[in-house]
Amino acid sequence: MTSTYVHGYDPRENRRLQDQASTLVELLHWDTTYPEGSSVLEAGCGVGAQTVTLATNSPGALITSIDVSAASVVEAKKAVQAAGINNVTLRQADIFHLPFPPESFDHVFLCFVLEHLSQPVEALSALKYVVKPGGTITVIEGDHGSTYFHPDSDYARRAVHCQVELQARARGNALIGRALYPLLTKAGFGEIHVSPRMVYVDSSKPELVEGFTKKTFAAMIEGIRKPSLESGLMSEVDFDRGIADLYRTAEADGVFCYTFFKARAVKN
Ligand SMILES: C[S@@+](CC[C@H](N)C(=O)[O-])C[C@H]1O[C@@H](n2cnc3c(N)ncnc32)[C@H](O)[C@@H]1O
């Protein structure tokens, strides 16, 4: 785990990442499939929340999933085993010191990783080094600046901004989704295509109200209560009101919107 990493491994975060992944499978992954026999590196697999979907959608691909956190790799192994998946190899490794020869993978996939890194272009360049010419990279990131909701609330917006600020102080970037095109360009990838994926939630979609608004987004902001208060970004009363207002958007007349960005590019 790098010092620039905000979310850190813990059981509650593990659960949140699993909830997030299962809610967003269709939206984020419907167009990610790799051919039979192709080799895929999943970088920053965490607790394996996306790994299971990747492997299920591409049963003939040989997937190598790595994470810098040994504890996360242990959890990912459990998730993969529980899903009965046998085309995934898991190992602890750092994106910045990859233990693979150059051009050893057909494709690279990473999801919700760049936002935590102080050197995203260097990470993309390191990953490019292990992709074969003509191979692809797929990157998925969120962008907290794309968050808006009804009823609107200054408290809720400020609580969300605490996450942006804390991540920036840890030298990450919670607004990175909008920057995928320039980052991939800087890292030297070609044929870059970015596809925004908007999550729109109202009470006609109870599974998204539960799985996204409450268990993914509001839970994430609730999870940074302690560091937000400790760093004086908001008062306790204001922060708690912000959290209450975020959950308020999950009620019958509430609406919640968020946009993820999915980029695919080619190593020429
Ligand atoms: C928010 S989690 C996302 C995990 C998973 N991709 C998902 O979508 O559920 C980010 C992951 O990136 C990993 N990570 C951070 N820096 C890394 C590095 N330098 N090399 C490999 N993994 C890294 C963290 O340990 C963490 O598990």
CA of 238 to the centre of ligand 1 (A): 31
76 in contact with ligand 1, CB cutoff 6 A: no
Q: H-helix or E-strand containing 217?
A: none
Ligand 1 nearest atom to the CA of residue 94, by list position: 20
15 in contact with ligand 1, CB cutoff 6 A: no
Residue 7 has pLDDT above 60, yes or no: no
Residue 16 has pLDDT above 80, yes or no: no
If DSSP codes are grouped into helix, strand and coil, which group holds residue 224?
coil
67 in contact with ligand 1, CB cutoff 6 A: yes
Ligand 1 nearest atom to the CA of residue 110, by list position: 6
CA of 106 to the centre of ligand 1 (A): 21
Site to substitute for ligand 1 among 40, 64, 66, 67, most atoms within 8 A of C-beta: 67
Question: Is the pLDDT higher at 127 or at 5?
Answer: 127
208 in contact with ligand 1, CB cutoff 6 A: no
**pLDDT at position 107, please?**
98
Residue 3 has pLDDT above 60, yes or no: no
CA of 248 to the centre of ligand 1 (A): 30
109 in contact with ligand 1, CB cutoff 6 A: no
pLDDT band for position 18 (cuts 50, 70, 90): confident
How do residues 87-122 score in pLDDT, each as one tens digit? Answer: 999 999 999 999 999 999 999 999 999 999 999 999
Sequence-distant contacts of 218-226: CB under 8 A, at least 24 apart: 218/243, 218/246, 218/247, 218/250, 219/16, 219/19, 220/16, 220/163, 221/159, 221/160, 221/162, 221/163, 221/246, 223/7, 223/12, 223/13, 223/16, 224/6, 224/162, 224/163, 224/166
Question: How many residues are present in the chain?
Answer: 268
1 in contact with ligand 1, CB cutoff 6 A: yes
**pLDDT at position 20, please?**
73
CA of 113 to the centre of ligand 1 (A): 5
CA of 252 to the centre of ligand 1 (A): 35
Residue 9 has pLDDT above 70, yes or no: no
